[in-house]
Amino acid sequence: MTNVAVQMIGYCIILVLLAIPLGNYIAKVMNGERVFLSGILRPAERGIYRLLKIDENEDMDWKKYSVCTAVFSVFSLFVLWFILCFQKFLPMNPQGTGNMSWHLGFNTAASFATNTNWQAYSGESALSYFSQMVGLNFQNFVSAAVGIVVLFALIRGFVRVKKTGLGNFYADMTRTVLYVLIPLSVIVSLVIASQGTPQTFSRYEETELLEPVTVEHEDGTETVVTKQVIPLGPAASQIAIKQLGTNGGGFFGNNSAHPFENPTPLSNLFEMVSILLIPAALCFTFGRNVRDKRQGIAIFLAMFILLAVSLAVVGTAEQSGTPQISQNGAVYTGTDGQAGGNMEGKETRFGIASSTTWAVFTTAASNGSVNSMHDSYTPIGGMIPMLLMQLGEVVFGGTGCGLYGMIGFAVLTVFIAGLMVGRTPEYLCKKIEPFEMKMAVLVCLATPVAILVGSGIAALLPATHDSLNNPGAHGLSEVLYAFSSAGGNNGSAFAGFNANTPFLNVSIGLVMLFVRFVPMFATLAIAGSLVKKQKVAVSSGTLPTHNAMFIFLLIFVVLLVGALSFFPALSLGPVAEYFEMIA
């Protein structure tokens, strides 16, 4: 158990040490300040503006910024949908992979356009190189960038006084991709490629098995298999941005548990830290850009405390295992090199510490890549990742969207605190009035509403029951996890649930679109309202939003919304399964 704790603490320390300087760098980039890459990338940036006829100095109001966001995202969705449904006729398809069905294509396009990367297919068998690299990889960059630019529009809403402009959507997108996402992706790509992750356009390789395998068929006949197909492709470049952009879609079907996606402990470390790197860094970016670093640190600490508690609970649950595995402690389940516990569904080369840390990191962020199967976790160990998604992915969350989601909770917190002391609520020297509160409620409640409505309808349908491999409480957990993953724009799966049906593909796709764009446009509306206001002077009655009391209140409000929304559903799923296990 001590070894698990030490590894988890080590991962968190590395994350913080990298996030602080990256946060300052991102702040400078988005403010248009000179950085060490400006000499190389500024000419390319100007060239993009000239080519696309973008006026980088144009200052858009929140409505135009929202329209640009919507048009860009919808256009991206339909282009990707077209690529997937007609990939058989497009280039870079050496395996001759066929077209996706219309409903799976819609689900996948909605998934990648919303930074969710939910996958109801296996990447190496269902997609061509063109679909992977041109279709999905492009979306991995731009969908991550959209979340970041909306966050900066909100920051400008707090900082600017009696203005209307929130910046230029296209200039913000260009800077985010060019200065932040591409350089970081190059570094991570080179590291994981050096560890053995493929980066090639060659056809799949066929190799002889060391030991032939005999396959028995239902009719009693047998087939001796002597060869194996080794899937290849331009994987390293896509895996790097899928982690950094909190996308999470696996190039191969087993995602980050696949030895080609995640070959070594070093690749595991780089990929795992990459998941939370930008979301954590943006907290420090926020503090620098609102000209009060204490504000960013307060938000960071609220997120980090929730992350640390989640790590402790999942690590303890998985290391303890189940009474059935250890026969109530009578049997030691450890071996040489493994400390025991619940190793079901986990890679022996990573063990419980790296597997559970990854599970918490990937569901705290809206990432969704996995290096172990969450379906095989203990009931409590599997419930925490589910709850992290249900909270709206605000424990760092996705690139940009996690932080503006948490700021929505901060607005809700100052409003509740203002009611308690009888004062008009203020946040960052801007008054929070009824319009901001209505929009903040949309930000905070869009995820719970979409998850509960979607999973409730799905649970009533016989087709959903037929898609389950497990009955009872665990089966309900699988359905709830699927819609929580879609509703949290996460993309991970509990497994054991065949979600590739027309109804589930369409309904899960609609949930992903709803929870991506309703909070996003509500956030831009808040920014548009705040930017017009003047700042109010701080007085003795102003609620400090950077001290321990505010951090506690913020955590309390996040958990209160989550507990009130999901406790009944969790009681019927993982909680009921836990009591069945110990009975």
pLDDT band, very low/low/confident/very high, at 561 (cuts 50, 70, 90): confident
Distance CA 310, CA 329 (A): 24
Pairing label, strands 430-431, 426-427: antiparallel
Average pLDDT over residues 488-507: 80
User: Is the pLDDT confidence value at 143 over 90?
Assistant: yes
pLDDT reading at 24 higher than 90: yes
How far apart CA 381 and CA 396 sit, in angstroms, is 20
Q: Identify each DSSP E strand in 448-568 by its residue range.
A: none
With the C-alpha atoms ordered 336, 339, 342, 344, is the resulting torsion angle positive or negative? negative
CA-CA-CA-CA torsion sign (28, 527, 145, 383):
positive
Residue type, 442: L
Dist. CA 190–CA 202, nearest whole Å: 19
At a CB cut-off of 8 Å and minimum separation 6, what does 391 contact? 447, 488, 558, 559, 561, 562
* Sequence-separated (6 or more) residues with CB below 8 Å from residue 286: 151, 155, 295, 296, 299, 403, 407
**Band of residue 229 on the pLDDT scale cut at 50, 70, 90:** confident
Q: Quick one: pLDDT at residue 552? A: 94
| Interval 91-136: pLDDT, tens | 888 888 889 999 999 999 999 999 988 888 777 778 888 998 888 8
In the structure encoding, which two tokens stand for residue 579, read together?
């009591």
Mean pLDDT, range 271-300, rounded to an integer: 94
User: Are the CB atoms for 481 and 493 separated by under 8 Å?
Assistant: yes
CB 416 within 8 A of CB 308: no
Task: Output the CA torsion sign for 421, 424, 429, 431.
Answer: positive
What is residue 463's predicted lDDT score, i.e. its pLDDT?
A: 77
Report the pLDDT averaged over residues 495-523: 87
Q: Could you tell me if 84 and 210 are in contact, meaning their C-beta atoms sit under 8 angstroms apart? A: no
Closest CA to 182 of 45, 56, 77: 45
Distance CA 525, CA 519 (A): 10
Separation CA 410–CA 425 (nearest Å): 11
pLDDT confidence bin for 252, thresholds 50/70/90: confident
Given this model, what pLDDT does residue 360 score?
92
Task: Give the number of C-alpha atoms closer than 13 A to the C-alpha of residue 505, restricted to the C-beta side.
Answer: 16
pLDDT: which is higher, 7 or 123? 7
DSSP label at residue 375: G
Q: What is the mean pLDDT of residues 572-576?
A: 87
* Separation CA 378–CA 116 (nearest Å): 25
pLDDT at position 339: 59
What letter would DSSP give residue 207? E
Q: At 534, which amino acid appears? A: Q
Highest mean pLDDT among 153-162, 241-250, 497-506: 153-162
Q: Are strands 426-427 and 222-230 parallel, antiparallel or unpaired?
A: unpaired
Residue 93 and residue 99: Cα distance in Å, rounded? Answer: 11
CA dist., res. 119 & res. 218, Å (int): 30
- Output b/e per residue, 192-222; b: 16+ Cβ within 10 A: bbebebbbeeeeeeeeeeeeeeeeeeeeeee
> Rounded to whole angstroms, how far apart are CA atoms 427 and 405?
15
Helices (H), 117-262: 123-126, 129-130, 137-159, 169-175, 182-194, 235-244
Three-state SS at 387:
helix
Q: Quickly tell me which residue has 């939003």 as its tokens.
A: 545
Dist CA 363 CA 314 (whole Å) = 12
Give 332-362 pLDDT, tens digit per residue.
555 555 556 788 888 888 888 888 999 999 9
Read off the pLDDT of residues 168-190 as tens digits, 9 standing for 90 and up.
Answer: 999 999 999 999 999 999 999 99
Helix, strand, coil fractions of the chain, as percent rounded to 5:
65, 5, 30
Residue among 385, 390, 388 nearest 372 (CA): 385
Distances (CA, A) of 420 to 48, 168, 414, 425: 51, 39, 10, 10
Q: What is the mean pLDDT of the chain?
A: 88
Return the bridge partners of 147, or none. none
Note whether 247 and 144 are within 8 A (CB).
Answer: yes
> Environment class of residue 35 by beta-carbon count within 10 Å: exposed (0-12), middle (13-18) or buried (19+)?
middle
Quick check: 413 pLDDT over 60?
A: yes
Task: Output the six-digit token pair for 325.
Answer: 């595995």
User: CA-to-CA distance for 583 and 580, rounded, in angstroms?
Assistant: 5
| Other beta carbons less than 10 A from residue 329's beta carbon | 10
pLDDT at 327: 60
| Residue closest to 347 by CA, chosen among 259, 270, 424, 284 | 259
> Which pLDDT band holds residue 543 (cuts at 50, 70, 90)?
confident
Tokens 């389950």, residue? 468
Q: How far apart are CA 425 and CA 540, in angstroms?
A: 13
> What pLDDT is recorded for position 324?
65
pLDDT category at 316 given cuts 50, 70, 90 is confident
- Residues 55-87 have pLDDT tens digits of 999 999 999 999 999 999 999 999 999 999 999
State the CB neighbour count (10 A cutoff) for residue 164. 14
| 90-99, 228-237, 444-453, range with greatest mean pLDDT | 444-453
DSSP-derived 3-state class of residue 465 = helix
Q: Which two tokens stand for residue 157?
A: 């809403």
Range with the lowest mean pLDDT among 280-289, 399-408, 435-444, 503-512? 503-512
At 354-410, the pLDDT tens digits run 889 999 999 998 888 888 888 888 889 989 999 999 988 899 998 999 999 999 999
In angstroms, the CA 467 to CA 483 distance is 14
Residues listed for the chain: 583
pLDDT of 331 strictly over 70: no
Q: Residue 185: exposed, middle, or buried by beta-carbon count in 10 A (0-12, 13-18, 19+)?
A: buried
Mean pLDDT of 411-440: 88
d(CA 185, CA 200): 17
